[in-house]
Amino acid sequence: MGTAPIFKNGRCPCFRVRMLELDIVSWVIVALGSIMVGVSKTGVPGVGILVVPLMATFLPTGASVGFVLGILMVGDLFAIIYHRRNAEWPYMLHLLPAAVAGIVAGYFILGVVDERQLRPIIGGITLLMLGVSYWRERDRTGEAKVPTQWWFAAGLGFVAGVTSMMANAAGPIMLIYLLAMRLPKIEFVGTGAWFFFIVNWIKVPFSAKLGLMTIETIKLNLVMVPLIAAAVKLLF
């Protein structure tokens, strides 16, 4: 068993994107997605789910995963600066080991799929996360119950790692766990911010190895920093 034939030395050349090759519509969508990430990192997490399929529509699918990871990391930085003292570390540490295992699993899955296969996978994960978000909203009314045992945290952590590595779409999974822990609002947001800051940095070497995160996607991330900062400033 190994990587799919489309990969060369573990990297997929079809995942590359050059800034100068983007047309005006793609630039507008990239800018819109960056603003949405800034909004999602300031306490409106549901917005972030839409960024993933939006970027995959207007960028090469693999490049969209790497680019979204980069802008999420920028948003994470603003979020942890604001919430630097608001994280409940014991709750987060229950998730992290399983999340790392999920990231590794997601890395190996990405190593055996090509560009054509990745797009429907991202679409499926996005739909699943939207369904989870709907279920989470029902839970706020008390209609749905969630367990709090250790295996619940481990299972959610693993799923969060896989979906985060493959589609940057683990937000609803983390929110289910935090809701189950009944954290106050500030600690709820702060713990989530620190969790994704750590998880997204863990994903960087895996994403670089697969060719998802490249010099070009990082350049595009840097161009979008002012828009992310403006969105954060507007809502914080």
* Per-residue pLDDT reduced to its tens digit, 9-67: 445 544 455 654 778 888 999 999 999 888 877 666 666 778 888 888 888 888 889 99
Quick check: is 5 in a domain? no
Does residue 8 lie in a domain region?
Answer: no
Give the residue with greater pLDDT, 199 vs 153: 199
How long, in residues, is the chain? 236
Instruction: Compute the C-alpha angle 185/187/192, nearest 5°.
Output: 100
- Number of other CB atoms surrounding residue 64 within 10 Å: 29
Weakest mean pLDDT among 86-90, 142-146, 204-208: 142-146
% pLDDT > 90, the chain: 25
Instruction: Provide the percentage of residues in the chain whose pLDDT is more than 70.
Output: 80
pLDDT > 80? residue 111? yes
The closest alpha carbon to 160, from 184, 132, 190, belongs to 132
Q: Structure pTM?
A: 0.82
The total domain count for the chain is 1
Range of the domain at 20: 13-235
Would you tell me how many other CB atoms lie within 10 Å of the CB of residue 88?
Answer: 16
Does 2 map to a domain? no
Q: How far apart are CA 62 and CA 122, in angstroms?
A: 10
Q: Is residue 81 part of a domain?
A: yes
pLDDT of residue 182: 78
Provide the 3-class DSSP secondary structure of residue 60: coil
| In-domain check, residue 17 | yes
Plot region of 3 (φ>0 → left; ψ -120 to 50 → alpha; else → beta): beta
